[in-house]
Structure 1
Amino acid sequence: MNNLRVQLVKEEILSDNWYTLRKITFKYQRKNGVWETQSREAYDRGNGATILLHNPEKNTIILTRQFRMPTYVNGNTSGRLIEACAGLLDNDNPEDAIRRETEEETGFVVTNIRKVFEAYMSPGSVTEKLYFFMADYSDSTEKRSGGGIDEEDIDVLELPLPQAMQMITEGEIVDGKTIMLLQQLCIQQYQVA
């Protein structure tokens, strides 16, 4: 990272419990040439990957449902969130990491993974970059143990794509990465039609 308009001054670790929360003090040169000192807190949890599994023959998708504490404290009364399979890279490349997460969370073993795009999900406070993938599955796709493994308490959901899109409208699917992947799948289907 070498940006002539940014000079790091000091970095403090505020918390290193679940992930790392840092306070970063820096000098930033504004467009008018004036330098000012600022500080921001940045939450570093590592980069991650997410995937949407789609069955083109049935036009169904695979999502998961699991408890997410941050959503619970922000008004999600059950704390359970419907979302696309996802996980941290844990020092793997994004494709290997999402293969691992797909098998652990859904039980599906997918081979035709396609990268769709990358995005920072909350760049004002979180360092994480998320890698987005899609893959096809079918009734004959190999399944292994996983998909609701006891440690993670995950439900695996197979839904028709139109129903999933309606669930966004009705506020049942409120996870950003999931909405982005579902919309991307709809765009791809529209372009093919």
Structure 2
Amino acid sequence: MKPTVFTQTDVEVLDKKTLYQGFFALEEYRFKHKLFAGGWSQEVSREVFERGHAVVVLPYDKNRDQVVLIEQIRFPALATSKSPWLLELVAGMIAPHETPLEVAHRELQEESGLVAQNMHFVNSYLASPGGSTERFYFYWAEVDSSKAQGLHGLADEHEDIRLHVLTREDAYNSVVAGKIDNASTVIGLQWLQLNYQQLV
């Protein structure tokens, strides 16, 4: 007997209330859902952080076997990290009128000054489904890493970005050593390590 596969129709949303609306939003949901053992759950209340969806771009020079990472301050990391300046992949939020591919090209140029020779969609994944609806759309961009230089970012968004060009191996070793520990960058560099031989 095959196990039951639940879908959206197996959740009943009873109420939704906005608790906070600023740059991000916090919504309170009351809902019921079907149970693995049969029947329905009691009413459940959850707060959900609504921050929209985002694109993540891994700039990779397959000819030189190098990746381009960006470094910028991430204030929330101050609570648990030795330094809140993190090495990351290029990333940005998707506006309502934009497609993920458009955002991938725009953010790559804004945050690194690079233009993709080709942009390849890899997959999408949920960032923190226990508390947020945010989904990341992950691309890898074919770039010329020799052109990666200077400081970048939009002043009106308070971005102050420095570039780092690392070999693929050094970038992956930074993940293994725990020097790179933000989720989207860890996922992207692990994916590259598993798949780089198929990209050349």
TM-score by length of 2: 0.86
Displacement after TM superposition at 1:156 (Å): 1.1
Displacement after TM superposition at 1:17 (Å): 2.1
Show the counterpart of 2:71: 65
- Provide closer, same or farther for how the CA distance between residues 79 and 140 of structure 1 changes in structure 2, counting only shifts above 3 A: closer
Query: Is structure 2 residue 182 aligned with structure 1 residue 175?
Result: yes
Q: Equivalent residue of 1:113, what SS?
A: strand
Q: 2:114 aligns with which of 104, 108, 113?
A: 108
- CA displacement 1:45-82 (0-9 Å, x = unmatched): 11110111111121110111111122112x11321111
1:83–1:178 CA contact under 8 A, matched in 2: yes
Provide the rounded CA distance (Å) in 2 between the counterparts of 1:144 and 1:165.
21
Show the counterpart of 1:18: 23
Give the letter for the 2:178 counterpart.
Answer: G
Give the letter for the 1:42 counterpart.
Answer: V
- Provide closer, same or farther for how the CA distance between residues 4 and 134 of structure 1 changes in structure 2, counting only shifts above 3 A: closer
- Provide closer, same or farther for how the CA distance between residues 30 and 139 of structure 1 changes in structure 2, counting only shifts above 3 A: closer
Query: Is structure 2 residue 91 aligned with structure 1 residue 95?
Result: no
Unaligned runs of 5+ in 2: 1-6
Show the counterpart of 1:30: 35
Provide the rounded CA distance (Å) in 2 between the counterparts of 1:29 and 1:36.
10
- Provide closer, same or farther for how the CA distance between residues 72 and 144 of structure 1 changes in structure 2, counting only shifts above 3 A: closer
- Provide closer, same or farther for how the CA distance between residues 127 and 170 of structure 1 changes in structure 2, counting only shifts above 3 A: same
Provide the rounded CA distance (Å) in 2 between the counterparts of 1:85 and 1:13.
31
- Provide closer, same or farther for how the CA distance between residues 165 and 156 of structure 1 changes in structure 2, counting only shifts above 3 A: same
Query: Is structure 2 residue 135 aligned with structure 1 residue 132?
Result: no
Displacement after TM superposition at 1:98 (Å): 1.0
Show the counterpart of 2:192: 185
Show the counterpart of 2:3: none
TM-score by length of 1: 0.89
Q: 1:152 aligns with which of 148, 159, 169?
A: 159
2:66–2:145 CA contact under 8 A, matched in 1: no
